């Protein structure tokens, strides 16, 4: 199975794509739903229902902006946008609603991996193509046309490799702020990280979900500090920047210095996270690129027109230490 990486530069339309091999990719089959329904759009307008997770993080805001920009009227789309506030049942209901409306295509950023089989089958039965963006699902790849997103396990691996190199030889007590339970990035970022620190002296003392939110990260971190004592926590691995930013507040409230007394690694590289890295409060960030709109819109157009569309599209991520963040921050788009 080929794995297509698309760099940030390629997203801006300027560079070539690199291909890397990988064995565990989703393999969307795109069967039976190459053309869209007739939709409500008329003319050449493509009517697209987009079921977004919610608005839990800075990453999510950047992703929503990117999608809205790409699916603009000027680009020939009518976008019906739904944000499910991280409620899986509400997200599935939104997709059903899109099916009932007879949209030309449905785009989903699935909150969790499981539970999609029935509604995806309903979309296929109605002849409405489905493109997944961002997160993956466990349902058969025959039930959707394409997936465009990030390699979450590789992100976890990069974070874990940095932790192993920095702290692996010293007794290090680590707590983990997990993303939304059952979501692909929470599952895969844990898998990649855990494998990378195996055999090192980093000990995972506790791991709980902060639901990818700043408030969640803060309150879970407060609980860790209460249970273990701030002096017994050396390292925080946060599955996203927002939870790391919440943890920073909790660490400071406990009278310790984030980035020094307690080291912090996170994922996303959104603006506020990068600023905290520059300020020395976070020590390392692995990027997760939210600017997927153009690629998703191109895939939707392709599928609706009956063109062949690359079924699995990975967007490449970078990683930053303090110096790299300082250099990159002024030109960051999110």
Name the residues that contact ligand GYE, by CB under 6 A: 56-57, 59-60, 134-135, 150, 185, 212, 240, 242, 267-268, 288
Nearer to ligand GYE, 99 or 277 (CB): 277
**Minimum separation from the CB atom of position 270 to ligand GYE (A):** 7
For 133, phi then psi, to 5°, come to -125, 155
Distance CA 110, CA 53 (A): 6
User: Is 273 or 302 the residue whose CB approaches ligand GYE more closely?
Assistant: 273
| Shortest separation between residue 299's beta carbon and ligand GYE, angstroms | 18
Instruction: Rank residues 28 and 210 by Cβ distance to ligand GYE and give the closer one.
Output: 210
CB of 157: closest distance to ligand GYE in angstroms? Answer: 15
**210 by DSSP, 3-state: which?**
coil
**Between residues 135 and 263, which has the closer beta carbon with respect to ligand GYE?**
135
The residue among 173 and 189 lying less far from ligand GYE, judged by its C-beta, is 189
Cβ-contact 40, 99 below 8 angstroms:
no
DSSP per residue, 48-93:
EEEEE--S-SHHHHHHHHHHHHHT-TTTTEEEEEEE-TT-HHHHHH
Q: In the complex, what is the shortest distance from the CB of residue 264 to ligand GYE, in angstroms, rounded to a whole number?
A: 15
134 vs 234, beta carbon nearer ligand GYE: 134
Nearest to 64 by CA among 116, 13, 133: 133
Supply φ then ψ for residue 179, to 5 degrees.
-75, -175
The minimum distance between CB 243 and ligand GYE, in angstroms, equals: 8
Q: To the nearest whole angstrom, how small is the minimum distance from the Cβ of residue 189 to ligand GYE? A: 8
Q: Provide φ and ψ at 276, rounded to 5°.
A: -65, -35
The bridge status of strand 146-150 relative to strand 130-134 is: parallel
Helices (H) and strands (E) in the chain, counts: 11, 14
Q: How far apart are CA 289 and CA 150, in angstroms?
A: 7
């Amino acid at each position: 199975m080929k794995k297509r990486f698309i760099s940030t530069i390629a997203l801006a339309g300027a560079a070539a794509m690199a291909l890397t091999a990988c064995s565990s990719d989703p393999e969307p089959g795109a069967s039976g739903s190459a053309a869209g329904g007739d939709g409500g759009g008329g003319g050449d307008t493509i009517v697209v229902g987009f079921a977004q997770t919610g608005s839990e993080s800075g990453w999510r805001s950047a992703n929503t902006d990117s999608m809205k920009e790409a699916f603009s009227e000027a680009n020939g789309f009518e976008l019906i946008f739904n944000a499910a506030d991280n409620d899986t049942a509400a997200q599935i209901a939104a997709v059903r609603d899109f099916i009932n409306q007879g949209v030309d295509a449905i785009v989903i950023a699935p909150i969790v991996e499981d539970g999609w089989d029935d509604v995806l089958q309903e979309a296929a039965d109605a002849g409405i193509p489905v493109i997944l963006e961002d997160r993956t699902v466990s349902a058969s790849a025959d039930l959707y046309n394409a997936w465009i997103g990030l390699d979450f396990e590789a992100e976890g691996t990069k974070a874990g490799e940095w932790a192993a190199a920095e702290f692996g030889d010293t007794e290090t007590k680590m707590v983990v702020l997990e993303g939304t339970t059952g979501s692909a990035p929470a599952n895969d970022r844990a898998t990649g990280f855990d494998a990378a620190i195996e055999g090192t002296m980093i000990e995972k003392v506790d791991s709980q979900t902060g639901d990818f939110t700043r408030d969640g990260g803060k309150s879970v971190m407060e609980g860790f500090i209460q249970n273990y004592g701030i002096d017994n926590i050396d390292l925080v691995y946060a599955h996203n920047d927002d939870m790391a930013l919440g943890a920073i507040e909790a660490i400071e409230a406990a009278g310790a210095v984030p980035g020094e007394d307690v080291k912090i690694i996170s994922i996303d590289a959104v603006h506020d996270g990068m600023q905290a890295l520059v300020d020395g409060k976070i020590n390392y960030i692995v990027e997760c690129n939210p600017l997927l709109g153009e690629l998703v819109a191109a895939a939707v157009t392709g599928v609706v027109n009956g063109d062949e569309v690359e079924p699995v599209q990975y967007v490449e991520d970078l990683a930053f230490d303090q110096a790299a963040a300082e250099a990159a921050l002024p030109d960051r788009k999110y």
